């Protein structure tokens, strides 16, 4: 019944109007400046819906676009999405190939439509061990990063070929390299120094980490960032393609309420 009602243009218009008003209200109070997303459940969604695996991943990408729009409209300055883990290279060659093709297709749309980039003003940053990527995929992702580098409204970190332990290793290597060249005194190496050398080092501190599919684990994603005091973790018992704008708005309302009244 709900799906039937949602198909009407008037229903869509009312939902958009309501969402817009709620986002305006949320912008007047505390809002997380940096949200991380573990977008889990695309494969389970495909199995439940009896559709091809690639269709499940496509549905997940569409859900990501809608959720990010809500976040940015509400005043979130930075979002980090777990797009492809280093562990994902252990999946079937068919699934890996499809995910790579999906990435190329979607990011080519960004590269080929400069007006869209300017309209939303989102700066894309590709984070992870990009040497693991096929050359053609890496070129497309980095071109999307290049073409959006001057956008200032918000940031979208896309973690590709990423693992948190690899990220921390990368940070330590950079620090050791600087100390070896006498560019960084050993006495200056502390927690903040390590944070600044992570892939997310130039992003605001992580305020909220969201994982879908009801699985209570972090899957080697932003382990360093989410361990800091003040970072909340939200585990949702809903598959990522089913995670919608209303779910996101409700999480932001709860977060804002808790920060307003618990910090008094």
Each residue's pLDDT tens digit, 147-175: 889 888 899 999 999 999 999 999 999 99
Q: Assess whether 227 and 246 both reside in one domain.
A: yes
H/E element, 214: none
pLDDT at 113: 63
Q: What distances in angstroms separate CA 205 from CA 176, 195, 201, 232, one per listed residue?
A: 23, 9, 9, 12
Q: Assess whether 129 and 231 both reside in one domain.
A: yes
Q: Which residue has the tokens 């620090």?
A: 175
Q: For all residues of the chain together, what is the average pLDDT?
A: 88
Q: Where among 203, 230, 251 does a domain terminate?
A: 203
Q: Where among 176, 203, 230 does a domain terminate?
A: 203
Could you tell me how many residues make up the chain?
264
* Domain extent for 173: 164-203
Cβ 84 vs Cβ 106: under 8 Å: no
Q: Assess whether 100 and 127 both reside in one domain.
A: yes
CA 215 to chain CA centroid, Å, is: 17
The model's confidence at residue 121, banded by pLDDT at 50, 70 and 90, is: confident
Would you say residue 136 has pLDDT above 50? yes
Q: What is the DSSP string of 12-36?
A: HHHHHHHHHHHHHHHTTS---SEEE
Q: Assess whether 180 and 253 both reside in one domain.
A: no
């Amino acid at each position: 019944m709900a799906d039937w009602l949602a198909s009407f243009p008037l229903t869509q218009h009312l939902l958009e109007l309501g969402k817009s008003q709620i986002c305006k209200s949320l912008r007047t109070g505390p809002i997380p400046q940096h949200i991380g997303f573990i977008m889990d459940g695309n494969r389970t969604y495909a199995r439940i819906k009896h559709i091809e695996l690639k269709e499940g991943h496509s549905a997940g990408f569409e859900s990501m676009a809608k959720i990010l729009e809500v976040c940015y409209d509400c005043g979130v300055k930075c979002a980090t999405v777990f797009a492809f883990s280093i562990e994902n290279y252990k999946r079937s060659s068919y699934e890996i190939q499809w995910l790579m093709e999906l990435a190329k297709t979607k990011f080519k749309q960004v590269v080929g439509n400069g007006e869209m980039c300017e309209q939303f003003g989102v700066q894309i940053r590709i984070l992870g061990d990009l040497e693991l990527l096929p050359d053609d995929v890496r070129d497309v992702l980095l071109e999307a990063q290049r073409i959006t580098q001057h956008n200032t409204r918000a940031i979208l970190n896309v973690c590709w070929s990423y693992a948190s332990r690899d990220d921390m290793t990368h940070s330590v290597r950079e620090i050791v390299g600087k100390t070896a060249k006498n560019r960084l005194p050993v006495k200056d190496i502390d927690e903040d120094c390590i944070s600044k050398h992570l892939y997310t080092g130039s992003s605001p501190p992580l305020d909220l980490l969201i994982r879908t599919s009801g699985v209570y684990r972090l899957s080697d994603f932003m382990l360093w960032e989410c361990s800091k005091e003040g970072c909340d973790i939200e585990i949702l018992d809903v598959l990522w393609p089913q995670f919608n704008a209303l779910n996101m708005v409700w999480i932001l309302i709860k977060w804002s309420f808790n920060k307003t009244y618990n910090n008094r």
